[in-house]
Amino acid sequence: MAYDDEALDRAFLALADPVRRALIARLSRGPATVNELAEPFPITLQAVSRHISVLEAAGLITRTRDGQRRPCHLAPSALEQLTSWIDQYRLETERRFRRIDAVLETVKEQDQ
């Protein structure tokens, strides 16, 4: 299977930024307009628009026209693992609990 190195480079570069990762995370739960995407961030609408352009150029998101709205969507082929945010939350939570299990083992040894 052949990979487009340039496309991968763009995708990795796009995801190097925490704001853009948060935007992707938000879009994994459904389409949203630029205004909706910008709301939780303490940065300007223009800055969010620039981040969205980078994600669009990287092929991670697409934009459609819906009347006056131009909602952003997560590109279906990109980041398939993010389709379910609750699954990712569960993974991270379980990882944390397994780390607690490990610390508990050392605590129990010390208590004996």
Partner 1 sequence: MSDTIINAPANTPFIEVIRDFDATPEQLFRVSTDPDLIAQWLGPNGLEMEVVEYDARPGGRYRYIHREPSGAEYAFRGVFHAVEPGALVIQTFEYEGLPGEVSLEKATYTATDNGVRLRTWSVFGSVQARDTMVASGMESGLNDAMEKLTALVAKETGR
Query: Is residue 101 close enough to count as binding partner 1 by CB under 8 A?
Result: yes
Least distance between partner 1 and beta carbon 10 (Å): 13
CB of 44 to partner 1, least distance (A): 16
In angstroms, the CA 39 to CA 68 distance is 19
Give 60: exposed, middle or buried? Use CB within 10 Å, 0-12, 13-18, 19+: buried
- CB-nearer residue toward partner 1: 1 or 68: 1
Among 6, 15, 45, 73, binds partner 1 (CB under 8 A): 15
Is residue 49 within 8 Å of residue 97, measured between CB atoms?
no
